[in-house]
Amino acid sequence: SIPLGFFGGIGGASKRGILVKGSNYLEALNNVKYVVFDKTGTLTKGVFDVTAVRPAVGMTEVALLQYAAFAEVHSNHPIAVSIRKAYGQDIDETAIQSYEEVSGHGTMVSVNGAEVLAGNAKLMNKYDIQFTAPTEVGTMVHVAVNGNYAGYIVISDEVKEDAAQAISALKELGVKKTVMLTGDAKPVGEAVGKQLGLDEIYAELLPHQKVEELEKLDGKKLKKEKLVFVGDGINDTPVLARADIGIAMGGLGSDAAIEAADIVIMTDEPSKIATAIGIAKRTRRIVY
Ligand code: ADP
Ligand code: MG
């Protein structure tokens, strides 16, 4: 039988917007060695603003933004949402003949016969698009039209209000290492990671590489020590499923993430990870 205190713990957690899918996960939170975070939508708000539109020679700002908005028409990635918002006009979907989202890269569409790519440098390299890497720092969305580089759009996201405190609280609770795994560019990942005081930062990772990094960390701990992964489920559902304890942001997160996770944070606040560990510790004191 399950000791009564565990129900108290799960109930107490749910009152704080933390849904724990089983008492075993609450118990496991007593031995956390690593807390690994996704960046976008997890430590940052996942709400990007377009800060610059930089067309290549022969392209206008308006045309560049329009190509990007068409390319992002069917994507629910936070980057896509921001580009459509900056474009601000209705998009005639009948102009789009084909659409493909390349996970961790960006999108590819055929619009009125033009082949449009919108995504990161990896996407450009994958399709042999020649371009000079910009010196600006920020999350970049590069655009290519019919194999020619059309320019880039700079977007920026903000860290969540409680993110820094979330990291320091975990350290106080005895978590050995806080880590970030991101698909975003290295300068962006490192800037956010340093600002928040994370111990290790791994950037430019594709979804399957996030799983590989997680497995490497997993290999560096004892069996009884636990690894937590916290994500929003956009491109990180496999990592959520692979962690000892997968925690999803329930508000921003996808249905798939909520399904794959062991714990769901309804308020999307990363500080709730420390709250959950605190509840786990108090619950254990009551139970034993
Ligand atoms: P994170 O790990 O920061 O949550 P993702 O794995 O979701 O990021 O995405 C990694 C990178 O892939 C993004 O930073 C972006 O460069 C690119 N990307 C993914 N989806 C899109 C998209 N729809 N449009 C443009 N770029 C995208
Ligand atoms: Mg994400």
State the CATH number of the domain containing residue 242: 3.40.50.1000
* Model-level ipTM above the cut of 0.85: yes
Residue 252's pLDDT is 65
Distance CA 154, CA 10 (A): 43
Whether ligand 1 lies within 6 angstroms of the CB of 79 is answered as: yes
Q: Which range of residues forms the domain containing residue 197?
A: 4-45+159-287
Atom of ligand 1 nearest to the CA of 231: 4
Inter-axis angle of helices 186-196 and 163-172, nearest 10: 60
pLDDT at 97: 94
**What's 80's domain CATH number?**
3.40.1110.10
Quick check: CB of 157 below 6 Å from ligand 1? Answer: no
226 and 172 co-located in one domain: yes
Q: Is 184 in the pocket of ligand 1 (CB under 6 A)?
A: yes
Q: What's residue 257's pLDDT? A: 85
Q: How far is the CA of 275 from the centre of ligand 2 (A)?
A: 22
148 and 207 housed in the same domain: no
Rg (CA), the chain: 21
pLDDT computed for residue 130 by the predictor:
97
Helical H segments across the chain, by residue range: 4-15, 23-28, 61-71, 78-87, 121-126, 163-172, 186-196, 207-218, 237-242, 255-260, 272-287
For a substitution probing ligand 1, which of 87, 157, 182, 186 has the most ligand atoms within 8 Å of its CB?
Answer: 182
136 shares a domain with 277: no
Among 109, 139, 156, give the residue marking a domain's end.
156
Strand, coil or helix: 202: strand
Kindly state whether residues 167 and 274 are assigned to the same domain.
yes
Which residues in the chain land under pLDDT 70?
A: 1-8, 252-253, 287-288
Catalytic residue flag (residue 38): yes
Are residue 180 and residue 39 in the same domain, yes or no? yes
Ligand 1 pocket, 269 CB below 6 A?
Answer: no
Q: Which pLDDT score, from 0 to 100, does residue 234 have?
A: 79
Residues 265 and 186 in one domain: yes
237 plus 201 within the same structural domain: yes
Query: How far is C-alpha 217 from the geometric centre of its chain's CA atoms?
Result: 19
Q: Domain count for the chain, please give it.
A: 2
Q: What is the pLDDT of residue 287?
A: 63
pLDDT at 254 (0 to 100): 75
**Mutate which of 73, 85, 101, 105 to test ligand 1's pocket (most atoms within 8 Å of Cβ)?**
105
Residue 215's Cβ-side half-sphere holds a number of Cα atoms within 13 Å equal to 9
- Would you say the pTM of this structure is higher than 0.90? no
Domain finish residue from 130, 156, 182: 156
Q: How far is the CA of 206 from the centre of ligand 2 (A)?
A: 11
Q: Is 183 in the pocket of ligand 1 (CB under 6 A)?
A: yes
